[in-house]
Structure 1
């Protein structure tokens, strides 16, 4: 091959190298563009997922009749104590779970997550039942409200409606404080469709006799809350009165013991006036008369 032919070959190879370099640069640029597009698609997917979650949370919030906050951290909510199937605390447990969902709607977005949360808090026979129905994919496991209704039907035996009204009719203070009596009264009354006048009348009838006797000396209120406050004030007044009598009795008995010692050392002394027909009152008799507000001379 002559020199001219060799030069042509070298020029052709050089041109091919230039073209290959250009193609490589174009491929690199194209690859970078593809990577950018891939990143943009991933970001759009995340935004779509966020919008879907917000939409689900909004529907969940609408089911509870509340608005869903769009910014800021959700408040902390303590998990309810585990539920073991106690028939008297089923409704209270489920109500606490509902409060958790209300406080943290974005955390418990789906109905399935709410049901799963409830099941994780069960133990004993309640857990055995829930595990069985969850594994069997029972239809009522699809929503919290259906699962709640099934739990109430199976476990709840708390007083409701007519049964609560029947218990309310028989309820009395029975040696408890007015506070304890009013708490149980309000709990039963919450499920009874009684008007204000009926609640007031039944509450007064259940009070201890001494509190009833004192209440009738006041102007009786027409609303239930004010009546409870009056009963609490009367109870406090009677307690303070008993404390004053106890303190006074202790002082008088102490004086009586000193007088008895003086009398024993002086046999000729006249009998103390705390006696009738020259019969000396015993310390217990003195205490009883003082406590009841009776005269120490005639009783």
Structure 2
């Protein structure tokens, strides 16, 4: 920890658990720290971001971004699962919808989406479009995704 947060925290951490400590328990420390330095609108910001998040690259990237935002929320599994499904790329979502066994938990849905997305990426890589020619200014190494989406 650095700067003012570190200056605030270190004395409290040094005394944590001692009888004379102002903050007696780790949970109390966390609450006090967040009250002093946390973003009071973090939950609202995370909700706004997660409801507008969509899979625009690989599913792995989408899962990482989704999980990061989900940690800021106190949503239940069903709500998270529904929101995750809503942001999936349409091809991935379509294949999940046609499965016999539909995922019941967020983790099952994420794993299924990842397997499907990886298969779609592999399929695209093995069958590149015939009329597609790289433009002069394109640099494949600068792309944002290992599996570009076609509109």
Question: What TM-score comes out, normalization by structure 1 length?
Answer: 0.35
Which of residues 59, 75, 88 is equivalent to 1:178?
59
- Alpha-carbon distance between aligned partners in 1 of 2:64 and 2:30, rounded to the nearest angstrom: 26
Which of residues 38, 46, 50 is equivalent to 1:168?
50
Aligned runs of 1:58-137 on 2, under 5 Å?
A: 83=1, 123-130=2-9
* Aligned residue in 2 for 1:223: 105
* Aligned residue in 2 for 1:188: 69
Quickly say closer, same or farther: Cα 1:245–1:133, change in 2 above 3 A. closer
TM-superposed deviation, 1:194: 2.7
Larger gyration radius, structure 1 or structure 2: 1
Q: Which runs of 5 or more structure 1 residues have no equivalent in the other structure?
A: 1-82, 84-122, 250-285, 289-299
* Aligned residue in 2 for 1:155: 37
Number of paired residues? Answer: 122
> For each residue in 1:221-268, what CA deviation from the matched residue of structure 2 results, as whole angstroms up to 9, or x when unmatched?
22222111110111111111112113xx6xxxxxxxxxxxxxxxxxxx
Question: Which of the pair has the greater relative contact order for Cα pairs under 8 Å at 6+ separation?
Answer: 2
- Alpha-carbon distance between aligned partners in 1 of 2:117 and 2:49, rounded to the nearest angstrom: 24
Asked if the contact 2:77/2:105 (under 8 Å) is kept, the reply is no
> For each residue in 1:26-76, what CA deviation from the matched residue of structure 2 results, as whole angstroms up to 9, or x when unmatched?
xxxxxxxxxxxxxxxxxxxxxxxxxxxxxxxxxxxxxxxxxxxxxxxxxxx
More helix by proportion, 1 or 2?
1
Q: Which runs of 5 or more structure 2 residues have no equivalent in the other structure?
A: 14-19, 133-151
Does 2:119 correspond to 1:237?
yes
* Aligned residue in 1 for 2:94: 213
Asked if the contact 2:12/2:23 (under 8 Å) is kept, the reply is no
SS at match of 2:127: helix
- CA-based RMSD of the aligned residues comes to 3.1
Question: What TM-score comes out, normalization by structure 2 length?
Answer: 0.62
